[in-house]
Amino acid sequence: MPFIEEYQRIVALELEARKAITHRLLVCGASGCLSSGGDAVREALAAEVNARGLGREVQVKGVGCMGLCAAGPLVAVDPAGLLYQAVTPADAGDIVASLGSGPVTRLLCPTDTPFFTRQLKIVLENSGLIDPERIEDYVVSGGYQALIKVLTEMTPGEVIDQITRSGLRGRGGGGYPTGLKWTTVAKASGQVKYVICNADEGDPGAFMDRSVLESDPHRVLEGMALAGYAVGASHGYVYVRAEYPVAVRRLQTAIKQAKRLNLLGNAVLGTPYSFNVEVRLGAGAFVCGEETALMASIEGRQGTPRPRPPYPAEHGLWGCPTLINNVETFANVAWIVRRGGEAFAAIGSGKSRGTKVFALAGKIVNTGLIEVPMGTSLREIIEEIGGGVPEGRRCKAVQTGGPSGGCIPADHFDAPVDYESLRQLGSMMGSGGMIVMDDSSCMVDVARYFMDFCMTESCGKCVPCRVGTTHIHDLLARITAGKASEDDLRLLDELCELLQGTSLCGLGQSAPNPVLSTLRYFREEYAAHVGEHRCLAGACGATEEVTS
């Protein structure tokens, strides 16, 4: 097959070109490091290399996220295995001069810490190693091999079978078994079917999907192309929020490159399978991440959810059967196809298989992005990998699952992180945001913050969510101000139950979770605000005024 020969030729050329290179300087070019000046560092390094006439043997390369965003801009030296942190353009001379001799010690970031040694990378396997704007980099790392394998050796049913065996579940929050979803779409009758990648990521504190798209966009495209083959779809959409300009640009570049090599487009690799992908921009409404609202938005209508059933698998985009999965879900697919479902299923615990990417934020030493096997304990993630809360403070709780999730207190940190355990604790896996709080945080105020988010992001279609979130928010504001009564607490409980039971979509149904979980674990804080007009964390300014 001529197209596969072309693919092999590119791999060979790329490997040949690399032979001349003795050192590679990998500069992080994902949003985190870009915001701390990563671009300028890369330019300074390139200029330095040219000035010294090292252009042939030293390569300066923009790569994706290296994980430890808080220490950016990050520069890795290959093959020395060094990592430099908080690099400025002024450091370029020292770094280039040191190549082949000892490291620049003042910039060294230790890589023998749990943050680096305890992770297991599937979704992020190429992040920080390859240039996301070059398809050659992805291809040399084994990219698109899964697609070639599937198109030449496997039937759609066999692909779905591997996904089912892998035990992969949706990483967009709900944890729905991916193999089952694919089977339903594959079985749905209809000539035209669609594949949608949900990259609307709107939870406060979450940046996993953005990072994957910025660091390794081809991985997501390959996952979608595999899905399209498996379910019988020839058209895909990636719905990305417009606030992610870098991700959008890299994705568009990746689509163009893949089409040029015939890895996407009509007659992929000369087979009868066609798969075209388009990018659609969202305007940043959180509710547009909900699948039915997202599809309404792609169709050009107002992004409001509609009741399910019918589910998108039967009645989706423009009424056609539609497969909708999250970015991270798709990012696992090629790995599973390459290594087999069993290899994936061997990782993880209970009904949660594989790994999960988490964004660590809040009061934690190592702010950044990590990937760990499912079932890793919260303690290991927060205290060891994350380095715990900064000196002098006590860790109080972690918020997982964003506005749909809950707060888990520190004395439950031995719980494994999997879909079921988090749900039992009154929280959710959600998309993977983890916000760590120390003892200076007032848990009532935390609940108020998330309810403020839900209230502002409610689309306003159904009554319980539209009106209920504002009342719950106002009640919480009254409690933090020390002006609430016991009756208000009762009303709070009642409204939370109503929203869970009657709201139209997941936004309203899960909006009470931050309130209910803080009521469950930190009821004394609510009671102190109400009964003694006192904030136990000393955080609510207004409360103290009331006391004095």
Partner 1 sequence: MKPQVKIKTLSIDGRDIGAREDETILEVARENGIAIPTLCWLEGLSTVGACRLCMVEIEGSSRLLPACTTHVEEGMRIATDSERLRRYRRQIVELIFSERNHVCSVCVSNGHCELQSLAQALGIVRVHVPYRYPRLDVDASHPRFVVDHNRCILCTRCVRVCDEVEGAHTWDVSGRGVDARVITDLAQPWGASESCTGCGKCVHVCPTGALFEKGKSVAEMSKRRQFLPYLTLMREERR
Ligand X SMILES: Cc1cc2nc3c(=O)[nH]c(=O)nc-3n(C[C@H](O)[C@H](O)[C@H](O)COP(=O)(O)O)c2cc1C
Residues that bind partner 1 (CB under 8 A): 285, 302, 306-307, 309, 455-464, 466-471, 474, 491, 494-495, 498, 501-504
The option from partner 1, ligand X, none interacting with 406 (CB < 5 to 8 A, set by class) reads none
Unique residue bearing structure tokens 């929050």: 173
Nearest to residue 238, comparing CAs of 286, 294, 208, 277?
A: 277
The option from partner 1, ligand X, none interacting with 373 (CB < 5 to 8 A, set by class) reads none
The option from partner 1, ligand X, none interacting with 427 (CB < 5 to 8 A, set by class) reads none
CB nearer to ligand X: give 73 or 464. 464
**C-beta of 312: minimal distance to partner 1 in Å?**
15
Binding residue for ligand X, selected from 137, 290, 314, 371, defined by CB under 6 A: 290
What sign has the CA pseudo-torsion 360, 366, 371, 375? Answer: negative
**C-beta of 463: minimal distance to partner 1 in Å?**
5
The option from partner 1, ligand X, none interacting with 324 (CB < 5 to 8 A, set by class) reads ligand X
Q: Phi and psi (nearest 5°) for 291? A: -60, -40
The option from partner 1, ligand X, none interacting with 171 (CB < 5 to 8 A, set by class) reads ligand X
**C-beta of 436: minimal distance to ligand X in Å?**
21
CB nearer to partner 1: give 119 or 503. 503
The option from ligand X, partner 1, none interacting with 498 (CB < 5 to 8 A, set by class) reads partner 1
Asked if 54 contacts 96 with a C-beta cutoff of 8 angstroms, the reply is yes
Asked if 428 contacts 401 with a C-beta cutoff of 8 angstroms, the reply is yes
Per DSSP bridges, beta strands 276-282 and 235-241 are parallel
- Interaction residues for ligand X, span 460-519 (CB under 6 A): 505-507
Give CA–CA dist 479/6, Å, rounded.
Answer: 66
CB nearer to partner 1: give 285 or 313. 285
**Other CB atoms within 10 A of residue 179 CB:** 21
**SS3 at position 26:** strand
Give CA–CA dist 184/530, Å, rounded.
Answer: 50
CB nearer to ligand X: give 131 or 457. 457
The option from ligand X, partner 1, none interacting with 467 (CB < 5 to 8 A, set by class) reads partner 1
Contacts of 276 (CB under 8 A, 6+ apart): 234, 235, 236, 264, 265, 266
The answer to whether 400 contacts ligand X (rule: CB under 6 A) is no
Asked if 515 contacts 492 with a C-beta cutoff of 8 angstroms, the reply is yes
**SS3 at position 13:** helix
The option from ligand X, partner 1, none interacting with 170 (CB < 5 to 8 A, set by class) reads ligand X
The option from partner 1, ligand X, none interacting with 49 (CB < 5 to 8 A, set by class) reads none
**SS3 at position 358:** strand
**Other CB atoms within 10 A of residue 279 CB:** 17
**C-beta of 227: minimal distance to ligand X in Å?**
10
- Interaction residues for ligand X, span 130-189 (CB under 6 A): 170-174, 176
**C-beta of 500: minimal distance to partner 1 in Å?**
10
Region from 83-91, 243-251, 322-330, 528-536 binding ligand X, contact rule CB under 6 A: 322-330
**C-beta of 494: minimal distance to partner 1 in Å?**
7
Region from 34-42, 199-207, 340-348, 374-382 binding ligand X, contact rule CB under 6 A: 199-207
Buried b (16+ CB within 10 A) or exposed e, 49-79: beeeebeeebbbbbbbbbbbbbbbbbbbbee
The answer to whether 324 contacts ligand X (rule: CB under 6 A) is yes
Region from 16-24, 223-231, 286-294, 374-382 binding ligand X, contact rule CB under 6 A: 286-294
Would you give the end-to-end CA distance of the chain in angstroms? 82
Give CA–CA dist 29/75, Å, rounded.
Answer: 10
The contact set with ligand X (CB under 6 A) reads: 170-174, 176, 198, 200-202, 286-287, 289-291, 324-326, 329, 431, 505-507
